[in-house]
Chains A and B, each alone.
Chain A
Amino acid sequence: MTIDPATFLAILAMAIATYATRISGFIIGPYLPEEGRLRQALDAVPAAVLTAVVAPTIVSGPAELIASVATIIAARRLPALGAIAVGVGTVLVGRHFFGGW
């Protein structure tokens, strides 16, 4: 159970870099406007960033595309956990039948 000095330094540097990105929004937060176009933009962050994260997964294969649509439909009627179950179930069945693109 040893820690190499160069590895320790790299992990510490990664930790500082990560923390900098996570605290920066809290530091600039109070200076951001309460209304107007910049506020509209900030209010859109959750939907915009989450969409960007999943976009490549959605189009990664026919099973994923079908499962994504199934998840959207399920999410309009079920709590998140139910929608996740529908999505994962659909992707498993889809991969069995379709494979990749």
Chain B
Amino acid sequence: MSISSVARDVRSGFITMLPIALAVVPFGLLLGSEAVRKGLTPAEIGLMSMIVFAGSAQFLTVSIWTHPAPWAAFALAAFLINLRHVLMSASLSPKLKAFRSSQKALVAFLLADEIWALSERRAAHHPLTPGFYFGTAVGFYLIWLAATVAGTFLGEALPAPETIGFDFVFAALFISLVTGFAKSWRAIPIILASLFASLLFKTLYGGTGFILAGGLAGIGAAALLPPEKKKTP
């Protein structure tokens, strides 16, 4: 692969990511300001964004942070919230043919929801390349890190994301991606099973297990469908 085609993929990944990362900024700012209220320093929340890099796990643990921090409880919470990443990485795994093992280790480190979703969409139309993936992921990572640290200095001078509709950006992104993945009738039972199982679990148990419950119901429905006649692209 030539240098110019790598540069083109990096650029394409970066441009694809940028509007989504900008929508993440208000949430990063909020997380930073919440971290300060819970007695975390800018260095600590910065370190968390740097090595954990998982928005939902960070929001949950910061919202219940105590001193001294109960490391085992927080690790378990992060593990449970992030269990969906087992499914996500298993799904992405066969699409990483162009990646070396060392690159895959870094792919896993950067595999936040938004990056995974954008990579799956890319892989549905083009072979996924390291240039595209890291163009997407590294830019998103740096913007998230900068936003969370900046939030520690801005404090409570922030508008809530709901007031400007920013909270719906992720819902709209994920809905449009699902619409793109749904190319035949076969998607309908998968989506309905996931939708109902997710809502049922959320209503009954609350918490964040609904993602895994819905995901497993949807892929269970897919396994029960009659075998496909021809392979979809």
State the A residues within 8 Å of B (CB). 1-4, 6-26, 28-30, 32, 36-38, 40-59, 64, 67-68, 71-72, 74-76, 80-81, 83-84, 86-89, 91-92, 95
Judged by a CB distance under 8 angstroms, whether B154 is at the interface is: no
List, in ascending order, chain B residues with CB within 8 A of A74's CB: 176
CA distance A55 to B196 in the complex (A): 8
Report the minimum CB–CB distance from B151 to chain A (whole Å).
15
Judged by a CB distance under 8 angstroms, whether B131 is at the interface is: no
List, in ascending order, chain A residues with CB within 8 A of B109's CB: 19, 22
User: Which single residue of chain B is at the shortest CB-CB distance from A57?
Assistant: B171
Judged by a CB distance under 8 angstroms, whether B10 is at the interface is: no
- Which of B1-9, B24-32, B91-99, B140-148 lies at the interface with chain A? B91-99
User: Which single residue of chain B is at the shortest CB-CB distance from A16?
Assistant: B75
The main secondary structure of chain A at its interface with chain B is: helix
Q: Show 8 residue pairs from A and B whose CB-CB distance is below 8 angstroms, ordered by the A residue.
A: A4-B68, A17-B75, A29-B89, A43-B232, A49-B88, A52-B197, A53-B198, A84-B173
Question: Which chain B residues in 152-193 approach chain A with CB under 8 Å?
Answer: 164-166, 168-182, 187, 190-191, 193
Number of A-B residue pairs having CB atoms within 8 Å of each other in the complex: 295
Asked whether A6 lies within 8 Å of B68 as measured between CB atoms, the reply is yes
The main secondary structure of chain B at its interface with chain A is: helix
Asked whether A3 lies within 8 Å of B43 as measured between CB atoms, the reply is yes
What's the tally of chain B residues with a CB closer than 8 Å to chain A?
97
- Set A1, A40, A51, A92: member contacting B191, Cβ < 8 A: A51
Most chain A CB within 10 A, of B168, B194, B202, B210, is at B168
List, in ascending order, chain B residues with CB within 8 A of A26's CB: 89, 92-93, 96, 104, 107-108
Judged by a CB distance under 8 angstroms, whether B67 is at the interface is: yes
Asked whether B218 lies within 8 Å of A51 as measured between CB atoms, the reply is yes
Asked whether A64 lies within 8 Å of B41 as measured between CB atoms, the reply is no
Judged by a CB distance under 8 angstroms, whether B219 is at the interface is: yes
